[in-house]
Amino acid sequence: MISAHNLGFPRIGGARELKWALERYWRGEIPSAVLQTTASELRSRHWRLQADAGLDNVPVGDFSLYDQVLDHSLMFGVVPSRFGAAGDMPTLDTYFAMARGMAAKPDVGFASEMTKWFDTNYHYLVPEFEPELQFNLHADALLQQVGEAQAMGLSAKPVVIGPLTYLWLGKVKRQACAKLDLLPDLVRVYARLFAQLKQAGVEWVQVDEPILALDLSAEWRQAFESAYTQLATQRPKLLLTTYFGDLREHLRLACHLPVDGLHLDLCRAPQQLLPAMDWLPSHKVLSLGVVDGRNIWRGDLTGLLDTLDPVAQQLGDRLWLAPSCSLLHVPIDCSAEHTIDSAIRGGLAFAVQKLEEVGLLKRALAEGHAAVEHELRAAEHAIAMRLAHPARLRPVVRERVAGVNDAMARRNTGYAQRRQVQRARLQLPLFPTTTIGSFPQTAEIRSARRNYKHGELPLAGYEDAMRQHIADTIRRQEALQLDVLVHGEAERTDMVEYFGEQLDGFVFTQQGWVQSYGSRCVKPPIIHGDVARPRAMTVEWARYAQSLTDRPVKGMLTGPVTILQWSFVRDDQPRSDTCQQIALALRDEVSDLERAGIAIIQIDEPALREGLPLRTSDWPAYLRWAVRCFRIASAGVDDATQIHTHMCYAEFNDIIDAIAQLDADVITIETARSDMELLEAFSGFAYPNEIGPGVYDIHSPAIPETGRMEGLMRKAAQSIPAERLWVNPDCGLKTRAWGEVEPALRNMVAAARRLRETAVN
């Protein structure tokens, strides 16, 4: 019999129960026992649901109170010394301190670094490997959950991050050892873990090694062999699990490691199927990830069955079916969505529906297609309805895309010439000061937005309130004597949603939450059709803000790549095509802003870097279309209009070329935390345009000192000519309070003034 299983289920809960419980626990409103009860209720509800979908076993250990990588760090005793003595049994409070920092001792108790999980929008906590680290096993939490599932009469399949991937994700701290030096010790702990799981009656363990979809050196490939060879006995069966990409040159290695099965992501990389069937030894299970865990559309089950029928014939009960990856990256249940056009909604599949798809495929293969004829026809019909939706193909958009030419992606002249014209127009001092766009989103702003949304505040009243906030923000910036002002983004909840709501081709869910980190969730828009801009989106606010001051006010847009990256996208055309449509819509917005007299337009691309493919050999193709889309959006302006862009991350070295090719007149970037180190990349490469290296970290409530910011800028001026430097914070200020923002910016402006006084021009 063919088996069906799941790699992981979203844990936050359909009503975000886990989020609310966590936040109440952190505020001290509920004891840990109540939090734990919520957690175990969610687990059992989700297991029941998965079993009811027809799965043969349920994933255990995919649930986490904060982050599954952090859970592994606790399980292996990888607790940084600032959170307690080595060998101490970590407590729930240690766990949350590692995740969120220790409020009582902010200087020592800073949280572990958080970073993106492969190419997803999920953030994990980076394991810290300190000197003299001793891996230790504390598997009680996992074993307890195995027991919970077994007590429900289910077959529990623990989900464990594999030793190589766990090591890869971590960082060696304050010592000169290579990560792989730690492997032998770590493998010993895994051996004990597997032995304990076997003792607990576990038949299969899912061992996630997604790094097999990355570029790996010979050393790491070798380490796979040695680690799994050492783990070959005294354990349950292991399902080596990969996802997010094609294993390519590692596929043969993965087929031959001494484990009992292999899971492949056939959504991202269907071409793996045939070689895997050739190479996989005949005693091993092949688990095929055929239902897309990274997108929200129903799958083409009939088409899949054509592929799977002969595979099932050949493999028999060695074939397992599953989603491509953990369902952590999709929302829970689309039957809760009532506001989306029914033709589009019918084409959606969230976690619950995806498991139904897996269950259905299994039945079709086991009992024959006829047994599920009705369900298959219904699925085909739903897909056909979605694809027939008139919003999918808009002739006007298609014509415009077909008419895009190279000239549209190029400014009229080069930066050097534009600079002269812009200088004459803007009359800015040396070291001009500015901010990144948003100002504090106060309780009044949020309540005005909420009341408007719930129909309690009429449009006119809402707009009035927003104008007042804009006027207040402009007044405060003038008082601070900033040189280039912003309107403050009071009207925006989210930098992608705000634009998506005004563009054709997007729909929004009510409950489509996806965990981003800890208790934080995002509700990504869904791009289902051709993207077009029915009317100007930001022009009235920008015009109003500019009318209040003689200083230039920047127009503020989210870039095409970021809008694409932070949405669920349509699956019927390449991402690059969708991105180009967004770029054209933004291009129109840019020219409307220009026509309204806005002299500086900022197009934020914080997600440019995270769109990078997992394999470096795929980077150039991505960067080519991503850069082109930014340029299509931005290049339609006159020389006198200054284009800014903003990115908030520090690792630029890899993509500095592409960033220069964006040809923005000014880029503002995050550098404050890395002490301007990244500017070396910019100087080494001789970055040609202007740069505003963030002089303070907006994530910290501390008020930055004038002297420190001045010093950072002097450091920057060693690698970049002073006349090309701007002074600004490293990101938007919406999460801060005015009480922090005003003194910080006052100091920042003072730093710029000191720099001007001493600068030799």
- The footprint of Zn ion (CB under 5 A) covers 606, 648, 731
Shortest gap between Cβ of 463 and Zn ion (angstroms)?
A: 27
Residue 274 has a CB neighbour count (10 Å cut-off) of 10
Distances (CA, A) of 694 to 506, 726, 746: 33, 9, 15
CB of 116 to Zn ion, least distance (A): 15
Using CA atoms, how far residue 191 sits from 25, 139, 197, 423, 551, in Å, is: 35, 12, 10, 66, 66
- Site track for ligand GLN across 631-650, x = CB under 6 A: ---------------x-x--
CB atoms near residue 463 (< 10 Å): 17
Q: Could you tell me the sign of the dihedral formed by the alpha carbons of 715, 712, 116, 99, in that order?
A: positive
Report helix, strand or coil for 204: strand
Shortest CB 438 distance to ligand GLN, Å: 3
Of 190 and 439, which has the nearer Cβ to ligand GLN?
Answer: 439
- What 3-state class would DSSP assign to 712? helix
438 is an interface residue for ligand GLN by CB under 6 A: yes
Interface of this chain with ligand GLN, residues 156 to 175, rule: CB under 6 A: none
Mark residues 576-615: x for contact with ligand GLN by CB under 6 A, - for none. ----------------------------x-x---------
Q: Which of 18, 183, 247, 436 binds ligand GLN (CB under 6 A)?
A: 436
C-alpha span between 184 and 567 (Å, rounded): 41
| Annotated catalytic residue 699 | yes
Indicate which of Zn ion, ligand GLN, none lies near residue 294 (CB less than 5 to 8 Å, by partner kind). Answer: none
Of 556, 635, 643, 650, the one binding ligand GLN (CB under 6 A) is 556
Listed in sequence order, the residues at least 6 apart from 538 whose beta carbon sits closer than 8 Å to its beta carbon are: 555, 556, 557, 589, 593
Q: Of Zn ion, ligand GLN, none, which one does residue 692 interact with (CB within 5 to 8 Å by kind)?
A: none
Answer whether 224's CB lies under 8 Å from 245's CB.
no
* Contact string 699-738 vs ligand GLN (x = CB under 6 A): --------------------------------xx-x----
Cα dihedral 525, 528, 534, 537, rounded to 10, equals 20
Q: Is 665 in the site for ligand GLN (CB under 6 A)?
A: no
The site that binds ligand GLN (CB under 6 A) totals a number of residues, namely 13
Measured distance CA(63)–CA(52) in Å, rounded? 18
Strands 114-116 and 123-125: antiparallel
Q: Using CB distances below 5 to 8 A depending on partner kind, what does residue 75 bind out of ligand GLN, Zn ion, none?
A: none
- With b meaning 16 or more CB within 10 Å and e meaning fewer, what string describes 316-332? eebbbbbbbbbbbbbbb
- Given the complex with ligand GLN, which of 239 and 633 has the nearer CB atom? 633
Nearer to ligand GLN, 8 or 559 (CB): 559
Comparison of 326 and 438: residue with beta carbon closer to ligand GLN = 438
DSSP 8-class letter at 128: E
Q: For ligand GLN, what does the binding mask look like between residues 441 and 480, x meaning CB under 6 A?
A: ----------------------------------------
* 437 part of the interface to ligand GLN, by CB under 6 A: yes
* Contact (CB, 8 A) for 258 and 226: no
Q: Does 14 bind ligand GLN (CB under 6 A)?
A: no
Q: Is-contact 583 632, C-beta < 8 A?
A: yes
Strand partners, 297: 348
Binding mask 473-512 for ligand GLN (x = CB under 6 A): ----------------x-----x-----------------
- 495 makes contact, choosing from ligand GLN, Zn ion, none, with CB < 5 to 8 Å by partner type, with ligand GLN
> Which 3 state secondary structure label does DSSP give 383?
helix
Q: Between 250 and 646, whose beta carbon lies closer to ligand GLN? A: 646
- In the complex, minimum distance from the CB of residue 494 to Zn ion, in angstroms, rounded to a whole number: 13
| Dihedral sign computed on CA atoms, order 368, 370, 375, 381 | positive
Rounded alpha-carbon distances, angstroms, from residue 36 to 16, 40, 64, 264, 648: 15, 6, 11, 34, 36
Q: Which is nearer to ligand GLN, 139 or 659 (CB)?
A: 659
Report the nearest approach of Zn ion to the CB of residue 604 (Å). 7
Q: What is the SS3 assignment for 91?
A: coil
- The site for ligand GLN (CB under 6 A) is made up of 436-438, 489, 495, 556, 604, 606, 646, 648, 731-732, 734
The residues annotated as belonging to the active site are: 699
